[in-house]
Structure 1
Amino acid sequence: MTSDLTGVRAILADRIVTVPNVLSVIRMLGVPLLLWLLLVRHADGWAFALLVASGVTDFLDGKLARLLDQSSRLGALLDPFVDRLYLVATLLAFPLRGLIPWWLVGVLVARELILAATLSVYKRRDLDPPEVIYLGKAATFALMSALPWVLAGQMDWALAGFGHAFGWAFLIWGAAVYVWTGVLYTAKAVAVARAIPAGAHHTP
C-alpha cells in the first residue's frame, strides 16, 4: 500500500497540466504584453495593473499548489523562471522609458552575471548549488513590488506621490539587499573553491 501511494505521488509530481502551472503560463504570456504596453503604447495604467495582477497570481499559484496538492517539478522550475522574465522585462523597459537609471540596472545585472559564474565552482566539484538565502528572496520580492509603484509614481492620479515614495524606498532597499546577498553567495563560492579541490567528488 505504501509503495502504491509513493508511485501515485511520483506521478502527481510530474504532472504538467495543473492549476498552478496554467497560472504560470498565463503570467508568462503577459511578458510581451507588458513590453508592448510600456514601450509602444505607453499605457502605464494598464502596465501597472498587469504587474500587480502578475504579483497576485504569483502568490496564488504557490498557495494553490499546496492547497490542491498540485506541486510538480515543472512548477518548481516554471514559477521562478517567469519571475525572472518579469524582472528582466521591467529592468529593460523602465530605463528605456527613463523611469530608473541605467547604472542601477547595470549593478543588478552584474550581480546576476557574477553569480552565474560562481555556479561553475560547484559543478566542477560535483556539488549542488548553494541553498537559497531567504534574504535574497526578500530582496527579489522587494524589487518586484517596487517597480510597479515606481511606474505608478509617474502616472497622473491621486496615488502618484505615494507610489513615487513607496516605490523608490522599496527599490533602493531591495537593490541594496540584492547586491549584499550576491556578495554572500560569492563568498560561499570562494570558500568552497579554497576548501575543496576542483574535480573532487563530494560525499555527503
Structure 2
Amino acid sequence: MVPTKRRHDWATIPNFLSLVRILLVVLFCVFYFNQNTQWVALLILIVSGLTDTLDGYIARHYNQVSNLGKVLDPFADKLFTLSTVICFSLSGFLPWWITGVIIIKELIMIFGGLFLYKKVKGIIPARWYGKVTTVLFFATFILSLFFELLNIEKHVLTIIVYVLFCTAILFSLFSLVSYIKIAVKMNKEKTTKGKDTK
C-alpha cells in the first residue's frame, strides 16, 4: 500500500515555534522601548534564539519538515532580525548605516527567493552558513543589549557593538553570496532541463 501524506503537514511543532517567534517580535518591540522593562526584552531575545534552535532540531530529527516550515522559519528569522536592528537604531543604540546594510541584505534574500521560486518553483533549503548567520545575529543582539543594560562606559560599549555586528554582517554577506551561487545553479539546471525536453 502506498503511504498517504499527512493531511495537515503544516500542523507541526516547528511551525508552532516559528509562529511563537513572530509573536515575540511584537512583545520585544513593546518592552524594548520602556527602560523599566528592557531586561524583559533581553529575556525575549534569549527565548527567541532558543526557539529558533529548537524548531530546526525537531524538524530534522523527528521528520517534521514541511513546505510551510521552509518558508515560515526563515521569515520569522528575518522579521526578528529586521525588527531588532530597527529598534536599536530608533533608540540611538545602533548606527543606521549598520541597520541599512542588514536591511539591504535581507531584502535581496527575500526578493531573490521569490524570484527563484517563480522561475524554478523551488525553495533553497537551509544551509549551515545560513543557520550560523542567524545564531550570530541572535548572539549579537543578546550580548549588545546585555552590555547596554550593564551601563558600561559608552566608548567601550561602542567598540563591543561594532565588533559584534561587523562580525555578524561579514558572515551574513558570505551567506548571501553562497545562496546566490546556489540560486544561479538551480536556475541554470532548470533552463538546461527545459531545453533538453524540447
TM-score (norm 2): 0.74
Over the residues paired in the alignment, what is the CA RMSD in angstroms?
Answer: 3.7
Q: CA deviation at 1:175?
A: 0.6
- Which residue of structure 2 aligns with residue 96 of structure 1? 90
Matched, 1:142 2:158: no
Aligned partners of 2:83 and 2:150: how far apart in 1? 23
CA distance 1:15–1:168, change in 2 (3 Å): same
Shift of 1:202: 6.2
Map 1:1-204 to 2 at 5 A: 1=1, 3=2, 6-7=3-4, 10-11=5-6, 14-16=9-11, 18-40=12-34, 43-116=37-110, 118=112, 122=116, 126=120, 128=122, 133-156=127-150, 168-186=162-180, 201=194
Distance change (3 Å), C-alpha of 1:202 and 1:14:
farther
CA contact (8 A) 1:20 1:61 kept: yes
Cα deviation per residue 1:129-175 (whole Å; 9 max; x = unaligned)? 656553343223211211111011111379xxx99877654322111
TM-score by length of 1: 0.73
CA displacement, residues 44-87 of structure 1 (integer Å, 9 cap, x when unaligned): 21111110011112222222334544333333322222112211
Summarize the Cα distance change of 1:119–1:87 in structure 2 as closer, same or farther, 3 Å threshold: closer
The verdict on how the C-alpha distance between 1:201 and 1:41 changes in structure 2, with shifts beyond 3 A counting, is farther
Letter in 2 for 1:80: P
Aligned residue identity for 1:32: V
Secondary structure, aligned partner of 1:154: helix
Q: What is the one-letter code of the residue matched to 1:53?
A: V
Tell me which structure has the larger Cα radius of gyration.
1
Q: Deviations over 1:24-45 (max 9, x none)?
A: 2222221111000112455221
C-alpha distance in 1, partners of 2:62/2:49? Answer: 20
The 2-side partners of 1:114 and 1:133 are apart by: 17
Which stretches in structure 2 are left out of the alignment for 5+ residues? none
In the alignment, the residues of structure 2 paired with residue 151 and residue 202 of structure 1 have an alpha-carbon distance, to the nearest angstrom, of 53
CA 14–190 in structure 1, closer or farther in 2 if over 3 Å, else same: closer
